[in-house]
């Protein structure tokens, strides 16, 4: 075989190899894309679909849901949960106006019942009770609901449109106690803040909210026979673009893991 023929064959082999390399690389990229798409569709190892979820939640869930959300994201890699907290009545208005969200958790069943056309079947995930929040050390020596009728006290309540405001009105009416609030707030956290800042002597809040302000307010228990039980229903929203992922999150709220987080924060079992 001549030297020139050998050189031509060698050159042909090199050229062929050079042409095949980018083709192989392209095939590799496509495989990766296909693999990524399949992984995204199947979700995390737990089987829950991946998505960026927006959950509308009652103000009284602010602290506990931040903890719950972090726990859920840890267990479901690839899913992010963003919360929007407000009074339940405000959240309901947002839903009716078509606000982009995936799930809703209110502090009462009445508000959720009014959204049957907008939400899926609800599941109660927790319950709560009211307490009297007073200034640190209880300087006004408040013992119970009857003391809130003292006109010398600056008492703040939530507006009656707000679940905690409705519960407050319910228990005060049942005990025939006439309270003249100095203000009516849009959510339970606003009531708590007024007491914390010393702008009010007392207010009616959920037990779990008072627990977040230990060292700033005193929580005065209300006997069960004078109290009200708040129920927290959770549901997916029909406008959600991530129905499966939203349903998985709502379902998770009833699992032992989520229930432990809620109960550690002072919420009662559903």
Q: Looking at the structure, tell me whether residues 136 and 217 fall in a common domain.
A: yes
Confidence of residue 23 (pLDDT cuts 50, 70, 90): very low
Q: Looking at the structure, tell me whether residues 249 and 219 fall in a common domain.
A: no
* CATH number of the domain encompassing residue 114: 3.40.190.10
Q: Looking at the structure, tell me whether residues 244 and 112 fall in a common domain.
A: yes
Strand-pairing partners, residue 83, are: 55
Q: Looking at the structure, tell me whether residues 132 and 215 fall in a common domain.
A: yes
For 96-132, write each residue's pLDDT tens digit: 999 999 999 999 999 999 999 999 999 999 999 999 9
Q: Looking at the structure, tell me whether residues 211 and 224 fall in a common domain.
A: yes
Beta strands at 202-206 and 123-135: parallel, antiparallel or unpaired: antiparallel
For 206-233, write each residue's pLDDT tens digit: 999 999 999 999 999 999 999 999 999 9
Q: Looking at the structure, tell me whether residues 241 and 207 fall in a common domain.
A: no
Asked, for residue 42, whether it belongs to a domain, the answer is no
Checking if the pLDDT of 152 tops 70, the result is yes
Q: Looking at the structure, tell me whether residues 118 and 132 fall in a common domain.
A: no
Asked, for residue 29, whether it belongs to a domain, the answer is no
Q: Looking at the structure, tell me whether residues 118 and 137 fall in a common domain.
A: no
Asked, for residue 35, whether it belongs to a domain, the answer is no
How far is the C-alpha of 245 from the C-alpha of 86, rounded, in Å?
A: 23
Q: Looking at the structure, tell me whether residues 239 and 114 fall in a common domain.
A: yes
How much is the pLDDT for 46?
A: 52
List Cβ<8 Å contacts ≥24 apart for 166-175: 166/108, 166/110, 167/108, 167/130, 167/204, 167/228, 167/230, 168/130, 168/204, 170/228, 171/130, 171/145, 171/204, 171/222, 171/226, 171/227, 171/228, 172/145, 172/148, 174/226, 175/145, 175/146, 175/226
Q: Looking at the structure, tell me whether residues 91 and 173 fall in a common domain.
A: no
Asked, for residue 26, whether it belongs to a domain, the answer is no
Asked, for residue 142, whether it belongs to a domain, the answer is yes
Q: Which domain covers residue 85, as residue numbers? A: 52-127+232-264
For 225-255, write each residue's pLDDT tens digit: 999 999 999 999 999 999 999 999 999 999 9
Q: Looking at the structure, tell me whether residues 113 and 153 fall in a common domain.
A: no
Query: What's the domain count of the chain?
Result: 2
Phi, psi values for residue 6, rounded to 5°: -60, -45
Asked, for residue 11, whether it belongs to a domain, the answer is no
How much is the pLDDT for 7?
A: 43
How far is the C-alpha of 211 from the C-alpha of 218, rounded, in Å?
A: 9
Asked, for residue 209, whether it belongs to a domain, the answer is yes
The answer for residues whose C-beta is within 8 angstroms of residue 38's C-beta and 6 or more apart is none
Asked, for residue 164, whether it belongs to a domain, the answer is yes
Confidence of residue 47 (pLDDT cuts 50, 70, 90): low
Per 3-state DSSP, the chain is made up of helix, strand and coil in percentages (nearest 5) of: 45, 20, 30
How much is the pLDDT for 242?
A: 96
Q: Looking at the structure, tell me whether residues 109 and 236 fall in a common domain.
A: yes
């Amino acid at each position: 075989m001549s030297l020139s023929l050998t050189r031509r064959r060698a050159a042909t082999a090199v050229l062929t190899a050079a042409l095949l390399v980018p083709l192989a690389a392209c095939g590799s990229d496509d495989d990766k894309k296909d693999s990524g798409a399949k992984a995204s569709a199947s979700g995390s190892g737990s089987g829950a679909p991946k998505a960026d979820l927006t959950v509308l939640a009652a103000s009284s869930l602010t602290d506990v849901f931040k903890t719950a959300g972090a726990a859920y994201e840890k267990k479901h890699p690839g899913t992010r949960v963003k919360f929007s907290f407000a009074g339940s009545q405000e959240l309901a208005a947002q839903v009716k106006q078509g606000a982009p969200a995936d799930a809703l958790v209110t502090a009462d069943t009445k508000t959720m019942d009014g959204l049957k056309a907008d939400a899926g079947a609800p599941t109660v995930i927790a319950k709560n009770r009211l307490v009297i929040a007073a200034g640190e050390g209880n300087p006004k020596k408040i013992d119970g609901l009857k003391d809130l009728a003292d006109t010398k006290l600056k008492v703040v309540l939530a507006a009656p449109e707000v679940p905690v405001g409705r519960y407050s009105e319910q228990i005060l009416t049942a005990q025939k106690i006439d309270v003249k609030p100095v203000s009516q707030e849009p959510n339970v956290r606003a009531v708590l803040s007024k007491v914390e800042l010393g702008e009010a002597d007392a207010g009616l809040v959920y037990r779990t909210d008072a627990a977040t302000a230990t060292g700033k307010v005193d929580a005065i228990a209300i006997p069960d026979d004078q109290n009200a039980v708040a129920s927290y229903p959770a549901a997916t929203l029909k406008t959600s673009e991530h129905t499966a992922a939203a349903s998985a999150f709502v379902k998770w709220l009833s699992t032992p893991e989520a229930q432990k987080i809620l109960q550690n924060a002072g919420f009662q079992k559903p």
